[in-house]
Structure 1
Amino acid sequence: MKIYIKNMVCIRCKMVVKEELAALGIEHTIIELGEVNIATPFTAELHERLKERLAKFGLELMDDKKSVLIQRIKNVIVEMVHYADEPLVVNFSVYLSEKLNHDYTYMANLFSEVQGTTIEKFIIAHKIERVKELLVYNELNLTEIAYLMHYSSVAHLSAQFKKVTGLTPSYFKQMKDKRRNMLEDM
């Protein structure tokens, strides 16, 4: 049986879910972002107990089919932006449709209706957050970050970054460096 978990968007979340399943004696076969295949019969009592335990970590079990689909869309985007090394070889709309077995137009309309933003804007927001992380880590230059994040050019990345944050990537990085210098002077 497959169960869906809202807000399960990182590796740490997967570890928490794994620990909580083990604590309740619920056997599982696969844990992915936002979903778990369980082997143990999932009674109403187990459902409630797991729901209570996950809530302590900001995670929640989902039952509504539309909410489940929205969360699955988010998880695919998070996985793609934060964990995928290879660029997509097909358009994202095709990739998402094939991955989730739904018509892209339906998913895009549902996502916009429920989330109040488009899938594209959600992707851009996550990409910019990832770029911020990479700038803070200071291990890659802007050209390498643009390549890693599958931007067509540094100019495209910079323009999108400024549109979302109001800052250029260079200025963002300077702010971080200034803050670090100020802390070191204390």
Structure 2
Amino acid sequence: MRIYIKYMVSLRCKMLVKEELKNLGLNAVVVELGMVELLGNISSDQLQKLTQALSKAGLEVMDDKKSIIIESIKNVITEMIHYSDILPKVNYSDFIAEKLNYDYTYLSNIFSEVKGITIQQYIIMHKIEKVKELLLYDELNLTEISYRLHYSSVAHLSNQFKKITGLTPTFYKSLKLKRKGNLEDL
């Protein structure tokens, strides 16, 4: 039996869900971002207890098909950009459609209808968040970051970054250095 969970977007959430399932005596075969597959069925009492426990942690059990599909899309994108070292070589649309076993046009229409933005815009927002993270860690330069996140060039990355944040990547990185300098002055 599968249970879909909203806002389950990190490894910490996965650990929390595993713990709650264990507390209820439920055996999970798979625990992924946004989805749990149980060995056997779950009673309505157990489902209610799980729902209450997860809601205390800010997670939500879902039963609406559209919500489940949207969360699945968001989780595939989150996992692809934030938890994978290498982005897929195929188009994101092909990757998402293959991963979820749905036609991409169908997924795109539902996502846009409910979220008010396209899947591509959502991917760009997550890629920019990843760029920010990589800039703050200061392990990679802009060329390496653009290559890692499959940008066609550093200029393309810089343009998207500025469009989303209002800052250039270089200026954003310099803010970190200024904050660090201010802390040292204390």
Shorter-normalised TM-score: what interval?
Answer: over 0.9
Q: Deviations over 1:112-154 (max 9, x none)?
A: 1100111000000000001101111111111111111111111
Secondary structure (helix, strand or coil) at the match of 1:130 reads: helix
**In terms of mean alpha carbon deviation, does 18-27 or 72-81 score higher?**
18-27
Equivalent pair of 2:81/2:87 in contact (CA under 8 Å): no
How far residue 177 of structure 1 moved from its aligned partner, in angstroms, is: 1.0
Secondary structure (helix, strand or coil) at the match of 2:58 reads: coil
Report the Cα distance in structure 2 between the residues aligned to 1:51 and 1:104, rounded to whole angstroms: 31
Report the Cα distance in structure 1 between the residues aligned to 2:170 and 2:56, rounded to whole angstroms: 39
How far residue 185 of structure 1 moved from its aligned partner, in angstroms, is: 1.0
Cα root mean square deviation, aligned: 1.0
Q: Report the counterpart of residue 56 of structure 2 in structure 1.
A: 56
How far residue 45 of structure 1 moved from its aligned partner, in angstroms, is: 0.8
How do 1:16-165 and structure 2 match up within 5 A? Answer: 16-165=16-165
Structure 1 segments of 4+ aligned residues over 6 angstroms from their partners? none
Q: Percent identity?
A: 59
How far residue 85 of structure 1 moved from its aligned partner, in angstroms, is: 2.3
Report the Cα distance in structure 2 between the residues aligned to 1:147 and 1:21, rounded to whole angstroms: 40
**In terms of mean alpha carbon deviation, does 85-94 or 73-82 score higher?**
85-94
Secondary structure (helix, strand or coil) at the match of 1:58 reads: coil
Report the Cα distance in structure 2 between the residues aligned to 1:178 and 1:89, rounded to whole angstroms: 37
Stretches of structure 1 lacking an aligned partner (at least 5 in a row): none
Q: TM-score, normalised by structure 1?
A: 0.96
How far residue 180 of structure 1 moved from its aligned partner, in angstroms, is: 1.4
Stretches of structure 2 lacking an aligned partner (at least 5 in a row): none
Report the Cα distance in structure 2 between the residues aligned to 1:132 and 1:96, rounded to whole angstroms: 24
Report the Cα distance in structure 1 between the residues aligned to 2:9 and 2:107, rounded to whole angstroms: 19
Equivalent pair of 2:9/2:78 in contact (CA under 8 Å): yes
How far residue 40 of structure 1 moved from its aligned partner, in angstroms, is: 4.3
Give the aligned residue type for 2:165: T
How far residue 69 of structure 1 moved from its aligned partner, in angstroms, is: 0.3
Equivalent pair of 1:28/1:40 in contact (CA under 8 Å): no
Q: TM-score, normalised by structure 2?
A: 0.96
Secondary structure (helix, strand or coil) at the match of 2:140 reads: coil
Q: Deviations over 1:76-122 (max 9, x none)?
A: 10011112223323211112111111111111111011001110000
* Aligned positions, number: 186
Secondary structure (helix, strand or coil) at the match of 2:25 reads: coil
Q: Report the counterpart of residue 4 of structure 2 in structure 1.
A: 4
Report the Cα distance in structure 1 between the residues aligned to 2:115 and 2:180, rounded to whole angstroms: 36
